[in-house]
Amino acid sequence: MIENSFWNNLAQPIIGLAPMDGVTDAVFRAITARHGRPDISFTEFTPVDRIVRGHDPEFSDLRYSEIERPVIAQVFGTDPDSFYRVAHLIGELGFDGIDINMGCPSKTISGAGAGAGLIRTPERAREILRRTREGIRDWAAGQEIDQIGLPPSVAEDIRRAKTRWFGHDVGDTMKTSRQPIPVSLKTRLGYDRIVIDDWIPALLSEAPAAITLHGRTLAQRYRGDADWDAIARAAEIARDSGTLILGNGDIRSTATAVRRIRETGVNGVLIGRAAMGNPWIFKACDSIRSAVRTGEAPLAPSVSTAEKLAVALEHAELFDRTRGERSFRIVRKFLSSYCRGFENASELRQRLIRVDTLQELEAILQPVVCA
């Protein structure tokens, strides 16, 4: 049975921010929410084993802010019982949903049977979905996390994390408002060949709330063009199942989003790389929906150079405030993505990818922003 969840209340077609490892951290998602407002967003994927063993007491990869809602925690792994336990933690942390990564093409991850490796073991994939849902059900029914075999410190780690994230302890509120959260997943067309005629029905048998389908096989990784004909076939297979199908891959503009939705009949799309340095693309969500209905061209938000660079500086300032032990150099890749589409952008980009501190960045950008 499909959960009655926020997924059912989203305007369609859904336009969301795709999860990207090393990109969609809490800072990136917050900036995107402030300046674009995607319909949904996902955390970077996090290994369930590390969570359940208490190896990340900061829950650093799962940090989020209220402005992102609805926000979904994406996790990966191979052990169904670990997913059962993680479902409790995701519920306790206040997420709107949990998404299982069945599409990562990394050799290390897929070779261990996780990510896209699960395409080769559909029964294990189904068991992971079942156990995740069972974990959510038991958590919503009141089962405490100290009853499911987690390290004793985890409950306190969760309380501290929520206090840091939100500025107060929301534990008591969570205990009195436990509601089941939906399970979704993100996957690919196949392992080394397209197998959606078998793979999609296997997933649908466990009634996930939504399936995001990246239009390539694992073997392709990110090479070649995404196969939207195959995504259209998956959408047809899932029609009337109650499970939403979202397409992903090579959505580089609002016009591309409209064309792919109209051609395939998907319930929405996730935008990934095109959102880097361009949170404003999500300001066009309503325009995209309108264009899908009418066939007219969607609006492409116009952003001045000064605004682009002001948000680049805002991004770096938020990163600097929350980075902990992470090097400031990590933010360079984000800064360079804002330098597109204006005069001397390439020259400025070369300067930004060499900054080591926020002060250096401010000295470069503030004269431009304030001009």
Q: Give me the pLDDT at residue 371, please.
A: 60
Position 172 confidence tier, pLDDT thresholds 50, 70, 90: very low
The model's confidence at residue 221, banded by pLDDT at 50, 70 and 90, is confident
Q: What is the mean pLDDT of residues 112-131?
A: 97
Task: Write the CATH number of the domain with boundaries 6-294.
Answer: 3.20.20.70
How crowded is residue 138: how many other Cβ atoms within 10 Å of its Cβ?
17
- To the nearest 10°, the Cα dihedral for 363, 367, 370, 371? -170
Tell me: pLDDT of 99 over 50: yes
CA–CA gap between residue 366 and residue 316 (Å, rounded): 13
Q: Three-class SS of residue 17?
A: strand
pTM for the structure as a whole:
0.93
Residue 54, pLDDT > 50, answer yes
Say what percent of the chain tops pLDDT 70: 96
Q: What Cα–Cα distance (Å) separates residue 269 from each residue in 11, 67, 225, 233, 235?
A: 12, 21, 16, 15, 12
Q: pLDDT-derived band of residue 177, with 50, 70 and 90 as boundaries?
A: confident
pLDDT of res. 160: 85
Q: What is the mean pLDDT of residues 244-267?
A: 96
What pLDDT score was predicted for residue 156?
83
Lowest mean pLDDT among 88-102, 142-156, 243-257, 316-330: 142-156
More reliable by pLDDT, 16 or 4: 16
Percentage of residues of the chain with pLDDT beyond 90: 77
* Cα angle value 221/227/229 (rounded, 5°): 160
Reply yes or no on whether the pLDDT at 155 is more than 90. no
